[in-house]
């Protein structure tokens, strides 16, 4: 018996501006999002993420995040943002010039449906750049507003999502 219960899945096979995963409610205490082979139309893009409320992305400046950027081509880096309008999910693809880059990652979501607590996540991502080089990140973020969030909204900083699989799971209690 599996402890992961699939709630929503979006499979991107042609360019789209964004992807929303919806269905978070009080059924599960912890949710997990898995992203596989997510790629932009053009090189050097960063995948951003926002919470959704009532199915709509929240664009307020209530997003804080911090990551350790792990790179195969140079030293590690610290990435962070406070009072931002987005969560940055990775360190980007750097100076990639090709379009063969992809991102994979796992995000664990906590307190998303609890309107009396901040919503937060932890994550691990791995990016293959078009250079080629491997870049990864480990960290998390908090949405500093007490609201009931029902999902996540993903989009690239400048470009479309060209391909990828986005899946939302509930973790069985």
pLDDT in tens, 107-143: 999 999 999 999 999 999 988 776 777 888 899 999 9
pLDDT at position 101 is 78
User: Can you tell me the mean pLDDT for 7-14?
Assistant: 97
CA nearest to 47, candidates 149, 151, 160: 160
pLDDT in tens, 87-110: 988 765 454 444 567 889 999 999
79 pLDDT more than 50: yes
pLDDT at position 47 is 87
C-alpha span between 161 and 38 (Å, rounded): 7
pLDDT at position 140 is 95
pLDDT at position 95 is 46
Query: Residue 48 contacts by C-beta under 8 Å, 6 or more apart in sequence?
Result: 86, 87, 88, 89, 154, 155, 156, 157
pLDDT at position 116 is 96
pLDDT at position 20 is 98
The single residue listed with the structure tokens 């499979």 is 11
The alpha-carbon radius of gyration of the chain (Å, integer) is 15
In three-state secondary structure terms, 69 is strand
Predicted structure pTM score: 0.92
Cα 157–chain centre separation = 12
Per the structure, how many domains does the chain have?
A: 1
CA nearest to 52, candidates 124, 133, 109, 103: 109
Q: Which domain holds residue 83?
A: 4-171
Rounded to 5°, the CA angle 46-100-33 comes to 50
C-alpha span between 33 and 44 (Å, rounded): 23
Length of the chain: 173
Q: What is the CATH number of the domain that holds 70?
A: 2.60.120
Q: Is 103 exposed, middle or buried (0-12, 13-18, 19+ CB in 10 A)?
A: buried
Query: Residue 100 contacts by C-beta under 8 Å, 6 or more apart in sequence?
Result: 128, 130, 132
pLDDT at position 2 is 72
Q: Which two tokens stand for residue 127?
A: 């990016």
């Amino acid at each position: 018996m599996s402890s992961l219960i699939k709630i929503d899945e979006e499979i991107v096979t042609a360019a789209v501006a964004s992807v929303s995963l919806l269905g978070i409610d009080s059924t599960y205490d912890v949710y997990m999002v898995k992203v596989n082979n997510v790629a932009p139309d053009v090189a050097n893009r960063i995948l951003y993420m926002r919470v959704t409320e009532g199915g709509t992305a929240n664009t307020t400046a209530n997003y804080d995040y911090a990551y350790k950027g792990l790179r195969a081509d140079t030293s590690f880096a610290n990435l962070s943002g406070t009072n931002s309008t987005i969560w940055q999910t990775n360190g980007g693809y750097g100076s990639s010039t090709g379009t063969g880059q992809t991102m994979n990652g796992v995000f664990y979501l906590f307190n998303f449906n609890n309107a009396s607590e901040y919503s937060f996540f932890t994550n691990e991502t791995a990016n293959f750049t078009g250079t080629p080089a491997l870049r990864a990140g480990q960290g998390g973020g908090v949405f500093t507003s007490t609201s009931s969030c029902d999902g996540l909204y993903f989009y690239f900083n400048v470009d479309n999502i060209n391909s990828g699989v986005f899946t939302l799971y509930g973790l069985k209690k």
